[in-house]
Amino acid sequence: MPKTRKLSLKLKLPLIMVALTATFLVTVSFLVYSMAEKSIRQFVYASKETAARSGEQALTFMVDAARKDLAVNASQPTVFRAINNFDRVYTMIEEEPTGFLRRHYIEQNPHEADKRYELVDPGDGSYYSQSHATYHPTFLQSLQVNGYEDLYLLNAAGQLLYSVKKRDDFIQQFGSGPNAESGLGQVFAAALTAEPGEVVTSDFAVYAPGGGGAGAFMGVSVLNKKKEVIGVLAVQLSSASVVSALTSNLDGSGHQNIFLVGPDGIARSPSVLEGRFAVGDSLPDATHIAAAGTGEGGLFEGITSTAGEQVIALVKPLDITGFDWSLVLETDEHTAFAKVNEIRLVAVLMIGVSVLIAIVVSFIAARHVTKPILALREATNALADEDYSVDIAGRKRGDELGDLARSLDTFRDKLVLADEAAEREEQAAKQTAAVVEEMSGADVDWSQTEHGGPQTAYG
């Protein structure tokens, strides 16, 4: 405070103005930034909730559509006749059936492994191939329309009589042996004991009979007219279809990852971002993954993603019959709140520029205030030095400085009059002193006359 008092008004006034302006700007900018940040965060959270809800709805629709498709087709005569015919012609193959069919539909298939389904009739002349040519187009169309990974027909003993894709699981036994523990084997066993029309499921897991990839299966029993189970219609859900459903409302910026997690903390769908993890991989021991495993939903901030990045994560338990999944949506925190960072930077720049402008304006404004004050100071000093010829500026101003200038001008006039009066009095005093002095000289001369007689010029 003592140091401040020593500052000149010329410097103190603009400093005060700058301090007040900066305080106002910082306060307003902070309030605006706080409101903008809150609004942006709410928008980000809402957009993530919308994306997750869209993925949930698309995935639910996909699974429900598959469930309805299986239930309807299982009751159709086409499926009943297909299983009945394939089961009958399978036993009519003169050679060992498994080797015969695998040779014609897999080993000698002219198409590449991922396009074996394009073979309708291998031309071997067997009754099986005739039945295959009859039913394959129908089942292929069903697979393509519904986005299945594969479609299967099994007889009541668990023999896989037909599959659309003709992968390594074609013509294998799933009612017993090692394949009975696979996802398709579990669905087959469950469908045999389920209520008619009831669709059973098995979750995504490694599916060794199909080549070692991951698979989730849905199946339903097929009955004859006597309501006896003659086989099972099953489908394998496509991981690509699951990913497509989950990402139905995501942008392609590459800063988001959405996937499914089971109660064991294992991924039930592959990472949307390439190279992170696959179906069946154990996910890191993170807060949001643990919450997904326990079926706890919520929004988690400042956590580490499956790739070790800082993210915000939305966890949403799904209500899909037959599957215990939680949806997880990870979003890169820096990207999600990029607008907040931009607003923060803009606010800082605006404050800096505004303070610089305030400094310039304040010094200019202070100059207009201090200049007449300094002029009045100079005039006051001149009057103190009895320089009454000094020009007193600002007398025509309409503000307090004008009043002060006019008062000082009046004061100068009074000083001039006072000095003139003092000078007149001094002159009068001098004259009086001269008269007194003369009279005093005359008294001396008369005193000499009394004591020695008058002195004359004649002696």
pLDDT band, very low/low/confident/very high, at 357 (cuts 50, 70, 90): confident
The answer to whether 126 and 88 are in contact (CB under 8 A) is no
The answer to whether 108 and 122 are in contact (CB under 8 A) is yes
The answer to whether 35 and 185 are in contact (CB under 8 A) is no
pLDDT of 459 reads 39
**Which whole-number Å values give the CA distances from 305 to 247, 248, 286, 370, in the listed order?**
18, 21, 8, 62
Q: Which residue's entry shows tokens 């980000």?
A: 44
Share of the chain above pLDDT 90, in %: 48
pLDDT of 345 reads 75
The per-residue DSSP string of 34-47 comes to HHHHHHHHHHHHHH
**Which whole-number Å values give the CA distances from 322 to 6, 187, 207, in the listed order?**
83, 11, 18
Q: In the predicted model, is pLDDT for residue 450 greater than 90? A: no
pLDDT of 28 reads 75
Query: For residue 340, which phi and psi values (nearest 5 degrees)?
Result: -65, -45
- Gap between the Cα atoms of 217 and 203, Å rounded: 7
Is the pTM of the predicted complex or chain greater than 0.85?
no
**Which whole-number Å values give the CA distances from 196 to 81, 225, 372, 435, in the listed order?**
17, 12, 103, 151
Q: In the predicted model, is pLDDT for residue 142 greater than 90? A: yes
Instruction: Break the chain down into helix, strand, coil percent, rounded to 5.
Output: 55, 15, 25
Q: What is the mean pLDDT of residues 247-268?
A: 86
The per-residue DSSP string of 217-277 comes to EEEEEEE-TTS-EEEEEEEEE-HHHHHHHHTTT--SSS-EEEEEE-TTSBBSS--SSTTS-
- Gap between the Cα atoms of 355 and 368, Å rounded: 20
Q: What is the mean pLDDT of residues 160-175?
A: 96
Residue 230's CB: how many other CB atoms inside 10 A? 16
Residue 214, SS3 per DSSP: strand
Q: What is the pLDDT of residues 182-221, one digit of tens each?
A: 999 999 999 999 999 999 999 999 899 988 788 899 999 9
pLDDT of 458 reads 39
pLDDT of 456 reads 45
pLDDT band, very low/low/confident/very high, at 340 (cuts 50, 70, 90): low
What average pLDDT does the chain have?
Answer: 85
Which amino acid is residue 247, in one-letter code?
T
Q: What is the mean pLDDT of residues 264-277?
A: 90
Q: In the predicted model, is pLDDT for residue 449 greater than 70? A: no
Share of the chain above pLDDT 70, in %: 89
Pairing of strands 229-237, 214-223: antiparallel
- Gap between the Cα atoms of 196 and 181, Å rounded: 23
Q: What is the pLDDT of residues 65-108, one digit of tens each?
A: 999 999 999 999 999 999 999 999 999 998 999 999 999 999 99
Q: What is the mean pLDDT of residues 257-285?
A: 91
pLDDT of 8 reads 67
DSSP 8-state class, residue 389: T
The per-residue DSSP string of 167-203 comes to -TTTT-B-SSSGGGGSHHHHHHHHHHHSPTT--EEEE
CA geometry: angle 438, 442, 444, nearest 5 deg: 120
Residue 267 pairs in a beta bridge with 261
Q: In the predicted model, is pLDDT for residue 339 greater than 70? A: no
pLDDT band, very low/low/confident/very high, at 252 (cuts 50, 70, 90): low
Q: What is the pLDDT of residues 11-62, one digit of tens each?
A: 777 777 777 777 877 777 777 767 766 776 777 778 888 889 999 999 999 9
pLDDT of 409 reads 77
H-helix or E-strand spanning residue 11: helix 9-74
- Gap between the Cα atoms of 36 and 177, Å rounded: 63
Q: What is the pLDDT of residues 284-307, one digit of tens each?
A: 888 999 999 999 999 898 888 877
Q: In the predicted model, is pLDDT for residue 337 greater than 90? A: no
Q: What is the mean pLDDT of residues 417-427?
A: 82
The answer to whether 279 and 268 are in contact (CB under 8 A) is yes
